[in-house]
């Protein structure tokens, strides 16, 4: 996940002390193009949101944005998350450039920091609250992503767990809060909790091997679900509620599962 764990980064960690370091490869690799696609999806999500909000205001409509616009924005953020999973796998198989980790961090700030924060603020505005409280909650999301990425960059590679909720999952959690459309104060509290989880010491397993393919499958299903919901197909709203509840439940319960598993292993040892 973030940042891209390239083959060069692994080789650098295993290089004997005193060995001469080769100059980093500064040309874009295949994995870097996937990372740039991640950033582009985040930008397009913000652009689609601004266009939908402008059209909504020009038409004099009240209430939430149209489903098609919401589905487009969320779908783009899910594609960004899928590309974020893929770029790490491609970098490990084909090798990455010396810019890979830096590009990954910058892309993640756009797609999983600014885009979901802006999405939440726009939702609050459409709900009739243009005060500072939703802006503060959105700002907390953005700052949590920046701090988490900076902290992750300083950690040694190769660990089996993320410290703190990974940014893509944090972004998806903020999205689910918006889709559930709770009362404003409940939504702000949920987003602040998500922001805290991203910078907390809670541990989340890294999606490697089959887990990575499972995450990609869930994201693909999410994109299809958003398309069905946006087109107003039957049971779409019920599926959105179910999916949102599962995402939030996963985010909250997984750290406790990891902790219980470690304690069980220690007791057996």
**Domain limits of the chain?**
26-268
Question: What fold is seen in the domain 26-268?
Answer: 1.20.120
Residue 221, pLDDT above cutoff 50:
yes
Helical (H) or strand (E) element with 73:
helix 67-94
pLDDT in tens, 232-241: 777 777 777 7
Helix (H, G, I), strand (E, B) or coil at 107: helix
Q: Which two tokens stand for residue 65?
A: 């944005």
Q: HSE (CB half, 13 Å, CA atoms) of 75?
A: 17
Average pLDDT (209-215) is 79
Burial class (CB within 10 angstroms; exposed 0-12, middle 13-18, buried 19+) of 38: buried
- C-alpha distances (whole Å) from 151 to each of 78, 159, 222 are 24, 14, 29
CA distance 87 to 34: 6
Cα-Cα-Cα-Cα torsion 178, 184, 186, 188, nearest 10 degrees, comes to: 70
| Range with top average pLDDT, 23-27, 74-78, 225-229 | 74-78
pLDDT of residue 231: 82
Helix (H, G, I), strand (E, B) or coil at 26: coil
Please, which pLDDT band fits residue 6 given cuts at 50, 70 and 90? very low
Contact 110, 42 (CB under 8 A): yes
- C-alpha distances (whole Å) from 44 to each of 73, 241, 253 are 8, 25, 32
pLDDT in tens, 29-80: 888 999 999 999 999 999 999 999 899 888 887 777 888 889 999 999 999 9
pLDDT of residue 255: 74
pLDDT in tens, 136-174: 999 999 999 999 999 887 776 666 778 888 899 999 999
pLDDT of residue 110: 96
CA angle 201, 205, 83 (to 5 degrees): 110
Residue 19, pLDDT above cutoff 50:
no
pLDDT in tens, 79-97: 999 999 888 888 888 877 7
Residue 114, pLDDT above cutoff 90:
yes
pLDDT of residue 4: 44
Three-state SS string across 111-168, please? HHHHHHHHHHHHHHHHCCCCCHHHHHHHHHHHHHHHHHHHHHHCCCCCCCEEECCCHH
Please, which pLDDT band fits residue 11 given cuts at 50, 70 and 90? very low
Helical (H) or strand (E) element with 247:
helix 236-268
- In 179-233, where do the E strands start and end? 203-205
Residue 178, pLDDT above cutoff 80:
yes
């Amino acid at each position: 996940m973030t940042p891209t764990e390239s083959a060069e980064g692994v080789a650098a960690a295993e290089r004997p002390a005193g060995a001469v370091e080769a100059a980093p490869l500064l040309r874009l690799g295949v994995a870097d193009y996937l990372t740039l696609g991640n950033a582009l999806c985040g930008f397009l999500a913000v652009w689609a949101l601004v266009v939908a909000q402008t059209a909504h205001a020009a038409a004099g409509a009240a209430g939430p944005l149209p489903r098609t616009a919401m589905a487009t924005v969320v779908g783009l953020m899910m594609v960004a998350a899928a590309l974020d999973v893929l770029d790490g796998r491609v970098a490990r198989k084909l090798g990455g450039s010396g810019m890979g980790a830096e590009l990954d961090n910058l892309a993640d700030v756009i797609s999983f920091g600014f885009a979901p924060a802006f999405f939440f603020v726009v939702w609050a505005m459409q709900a009739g609250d243009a005060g500072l409280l939703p802006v503060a909650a959105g700002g907390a999301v953005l700052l949590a992503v920046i701090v988490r990425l900076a902290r992750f960059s300083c950690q040694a590679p190769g660990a089996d767990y993320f410290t703190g909720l990974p940014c893509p999952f944090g972004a998806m959690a903020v999205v689910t809060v918006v889709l559930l459309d709770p009362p404003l104060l409940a939504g702000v509290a949920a987003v602040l909790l998500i922001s805290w989880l991203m910078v907390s010491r809670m541990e989340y397993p890294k999606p490697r091997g089959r887990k990575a393919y499972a995450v990609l499958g869930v994201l693909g299903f999410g994109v299809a679900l958003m398309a069905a919901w946006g087109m107003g197909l039957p049971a779409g709203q019920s599926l959105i509620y179910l999916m949102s509840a599962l995402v939030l439940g996963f985010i909250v319960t997984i750290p406790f599962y990891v902790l219980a598993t470690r304690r069980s292993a220690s007791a057996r040892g």
